[in-house]
Structure 1
Amino acid sequence: MSQLFLDRLLEGTLTDSETGERLSVPVRKVTIGTGLAPVAAQLVVPLGLGRRLAVVMDADTRRAMGEAVAGALSTGHLVESIVLDPHPHPDMEVVEEVRARSREADGLIAVGSGSINDIVKHAAHLAGKPYAVFGTALSMNGYTSSSAAITEKGLKKSLASTAAQGVFLDLDVLAAAPKRLIAAGFGDSICRCTAQTDWLMSHLIRGTPYRDTPFALQREEEAALMADPGRLIAGDRAAVALLARMLVLSGFGMTLAGGSYPASQGEHLIAHYIDMRGQNLPMAYHGEHIAVTTVTVARLQERVLGRTSLAIRANADTPAVFAREFGAELGAECWNAFEPKLLDEEGAAALNRRLAADWPDIRRRLLAVSRPSTEVKAALENVNAPVKPADVGIPEPFYREALRNARRIRDRFGVLDLAEAAGELDDFIAAETARPAAHA
């Protein structure tokens, strides 16, 4: 998909195939090219972020691009460089730190990838200030989204935030990033298949809103990437540009959907649970966790969609169950997030009537947007991405816990909920985690 296509989306001249209306996104400029740091001022000035700019980075992204960006901007702006601790965690404490340290700034510039972008994005939102981002790695799809994944009171949330006014991705910087980060970005993009299947499942079974447009935006890029993903870690600039466009378009899909629904479903719930509750785990990137959990969720979707008939039961979940699993305070937070999708006896009976009549058509439509788990796993292995919990140092007992409880941290209904309601989840967890051969 060409830069011209992206430009049409940014200009508001691209038509929505579902509604016939013109698509609109809040990001004003996306530049994917080379040599962007020296011309940072020329890129940023048209955005009107103000004269006083806070440039936020950590030690790694400072070396990669941050110092050069801050230096180029200082020719026409009053620049304050804010260097965070290495590998900052995107939680409200760090968001508030950035907000406080950038109090005098008119606008903010993030130089980094996932965590730094989310931190700055939400700090800008809370302060009512504009921001732009110079990406240093293709490790995730959040550059163009208007939400941020932030941990608040121990619960990982997708919070409405300020969309970047400009997104600047330098292919030389991105290609020079550790191959592990590029593989993580591929992991965060390949979950399209499980996310779309879960989101459509929720729509067809529970009647929640759904849009195909976010996925239509990415179709061409996804097909090209899946044809030869190994080019990414070989440093092929065309492949890196392809992944950059795919992640940019995935972020726009979230914005068009009004939330992270097109890119974050069951696979992200498991990863969020791991991030929230994991203790003393080795450092791993978000996209690496998503690679692992996408393979798992693809397998679970295959198991459920392999059923020619399906009957479900009401939830046995209660506030007491949540308090036991999460503790009193976090349990109450999770219960409040979960309760909107609670399935009582009456609701289960109504859904069983629908499933008795419609399951064959529902199953057919879901299979049409999913991918075989073997295909997902093979593509990830081609970029040396992790595909099983042990690859990212997650102990099997904790992974079983994450699979059992992930559906309880948010109100999104997907295959984790359907499998539990159908009496399939416990058997799947036992089969998925009991034998090393299950991950071969």
Structure 2
Amino acid sequence: MDIDLLLKNDKVCGCGKRHTVDIEKTIIESGAVDKLYELTEEYERVLLVSDSHTYKACGEQVKDLLGDKIETNLVFECEGFLVPDEKAVEVLRSKISSDTDLVIGVGSGVINDLCKYVSFLSDLPYFIVATAPSMDGYASTGAAMIFKNMKVTFHARVPKAIIADTKVLKNAPSDLIKAGYGDIIGKYSALNDWKLGHVVLNEYFCSEVYDLVMETTEKTVSLAPGLKDRKEDSIETLMEALVITGIAMSYVGNSRPASGSEHHFSHFFEVVGLLNNEPYLLHGIDVAFSAVETQKIREKLLNISKPSKFRIFDRNLWEENIKRVYGKGAAEIIALQDKIGRYEQSLNEIYISKWEEIKSVLEEAPKSEQIKGLLEDAGLNYEDFLNIYGKEKLADAYLYAKDCKDRYTVLWPYYSILG
């Protein structure tokens, strides 16, 4: 797929939307960083943002390349994961002066989200220089942050330019490469949830965007051997897939084509991990393993000929469990669900009347064992996932991961019918 054609798209789709994206340039190739100076020709006061890891990977190279154009060089010092929370936002905003005319992030998920969010608040353009093919948010409008102990995605803006040098990307930590592959594998789950939402709630659905993401996913799943060997052509194809998926999200205006129940699981593990100071995996790796779990849910629902018994919602019991699971983040979760009102909206009659159509959608997703096999090919051992989270936390995710987001997914019929 020619990314430049996707960037130039301006036609009205069959779904009725005009799919556009405001990214001006995407360069994914060996030596891409060398073209950065030319791209910054009209800018003179650049805020360069990285962390202690990504500065070593490419930030120093960018700093030397841009020279006097760099007004401020911000390097977040971190031993483990940098968290995109209120504190990090405050630090970044404090480095923007009245003369700053461009923000350049050097990094992947968190650096991209921070620069995306803060540049949007400050009405500044931003570039992202990718250091790892680890996630699909490079080209999307959404900025995933941790605010008030909650994983929140804010609508922001896309970067003006994405620079991805395969010489840099191929040297990323292996877990980050696995995370990018895992994020793409998770699209099988996300796309199925999108179709399910269309059938059950009559949500907006675009078959062209769906096909774009599915074709990109199918093209990527065979890359595992090349990725393990850090082959530049495989790394380039993976990075292209991640960018295309981000463009698909920008086309739609939200993350629906790329994020579903598997992301809810991942967000659950991250939020609970941060709240309780417990370990959690990289986002894309969590997404990959969670796609196995959400597919198991679909397979359980497919075993039901027709639903006849439904959970009777017990508000007090639900609140008790939300407080047990989310701790000091529970108030935000409860407020979110009260705002959505889904617990007050019975879908039982729809499940009964549309069950055959629902099953037809659920049957389209790859089997859980097939997904597990794809992950094993990439060096992702499913037992590692089970060992780090354990049966109790996994059981809680099945029932309460859905509550940390406002999106309808397969987790809702599971809760109502089998939970």
- The alignment's TM-score, normalised by the length of structure 1, stands at 0.87
- Higher deviation after alignment, 305-314 or 176-185: 305-314
Over residues 199-224 of structure 1, what are the superposed CA-to-partner deviations in whole Å (9 max), with x where a residue is unaligned?
Answer: 22122112222223333223333222
1:305 is matched by which residue type in structure 2?
A: L
The answer as to 2:58 corresponding to 1:59 is no
CA–CA distance in structure 2, aligned partners of residues 263 and 29 of structure 1? 22
How far did 1:186 drift? 0.7
- Higher deviation after alignment, 352-361 or 291-300: 352-361
**Alignment map for 1:152-171 (pairs within 5 Å):** 152-171=147-166
Structure 2 SS opposite 1:31: strand
Tell me the percent identity.
26
Out of 103, 108, 114, the position equivalent to 2:103 is: 108
Contact kept in structure 1, 2:272 and 2:278, CA below 8 Å? no
CA–CA distance in structure 1, aligned partners of residues 366 and 166 of structure 2? 29
1:6 is matched by which residue type in structure 2?
A: I
Over residues 213-251 of structure 1, what are the superposed CA-to-partner deviations in whole Å (9 max), with x where a residue is unaligned?
Answer: 333223333222223422211122222111111100111
Contact kept in structure 2, 1:55 and 1:109, CA below 8 Å? yes
CA–CA distance in structure 2, aligned partners of residues 195 and 202 of structure 1? 11
Determine the structure 2 residue equivalent to 1:37: 33
How far did 1:356 drift? 3.1
Over residues 286-345 of structure 1, what are the superposed CA-to-partner deviations in whole Å (9 max), with x where a residue is unaligned?
Answer: 11111221111111112113323124636625377336523786333212322325243x
Distance 1:404 1:62, change over 3 A: same
**Alignment map for 1:22-421 (pairs within 5 Å):** 23-45=19-41, 48=42, 50-75=43-68, 77-86=69-78, 87-104=81-98, 105-278=100-273, 279-282=276-279, 284-311=281-308, 313=310, 316=313, 318=315, 321-322=318-319, 325-326=322-323, 330-339=329-338, 340-344=340-344, 347-348=345-346, 351-368=347-364, 370-388=365-383, 390=385, 393-421=388-416
Determine the structure 2 residue equivalent to 1:433: none
Contact kept in structure 2, 1:138 and 1:244, CA below 8 Å? yes
Over residues 123-169 of structure 1, what are the superposed CA-to-partner deviations in whole Å (9 max), with x where a residue is unaligned?
Answer: 11111211110000011100000001101111111111121111111
CA–CA distance in structure 1, aligned partners of residues 39 and 303 of structure 2? 51
CA–CA distance in structure 1, aligned partners of residues 118 and 57 of structure 2? 23
Structure 1: unaligned runs, 5 residues or longer: 426-440
How far did 1:36 drift? 2.4
- Higher deviation after alignment, 101-110 or 237-246: 101-110
- Higher deviation after alignment, 286-295 or 228-237: 228-237
Structure 2: unaligned runs, 5 residues or longer: none
Determine the structure 2 residue equivalent to 1:436: none
Structure 2 SS opposite 1:263: coil
CA–CA distance in structure 2, aligned partners of residues 256 and 389 of structure 1? 36
2:239 is matched by which residue type in structure 1?
A: A
CA–CA distance in structure 2, aligned partners of residues 14 and 236 of structure 1? 36
Structure 1 SS opposite 2:37: helix
Structure 2 SS opposite 1:393: helix
Over residues 400-425 of structure 1, what are the superposed CA-to-partner deviations in whole Å (9 max), with x where a residue is unaligned?
Answer: 22332111112212111111101x13
CA–CA distance in structure 2, aligned partners of residues 162 and 15 of structure 1? 21
1:100 is matched by which residue type in structure 2?
A: S
CA–CA distance in structure 2, aligned partners of residues 328 and 373 of structure 1? 31
- The alignment's TM-score, normalised by the length of structure 2, stands at 0.91
1:25 is matched by which residue type in structure 2?
A: V
CA–CA distance in structure 2, aligned partners of residues 119 and 323 of structure 1? 34
Over residues 258-297 of structure 1, what are the superposed CA-to-partner deviations in whole Å (9 max), with x where a residue is unaligned?
Answer: 1112211111111111111123433631111112211111
- Higher deviation after alignment, 391-400 or 115-124: 391-400
Contact kept in structure 1, 2:33 and 2:164, CA below 8 Å? no
Determine the structure 2 residue equivalent to 1:437: none
Contact kept in structure 2, 1:180 and 1:385, CA below 8 Å? no
2:73 is matched by which residue type in structure 1?
A: S
CA–CA distance in structure 2, aligned partners of residues 272 and 127 of structure 1? 27
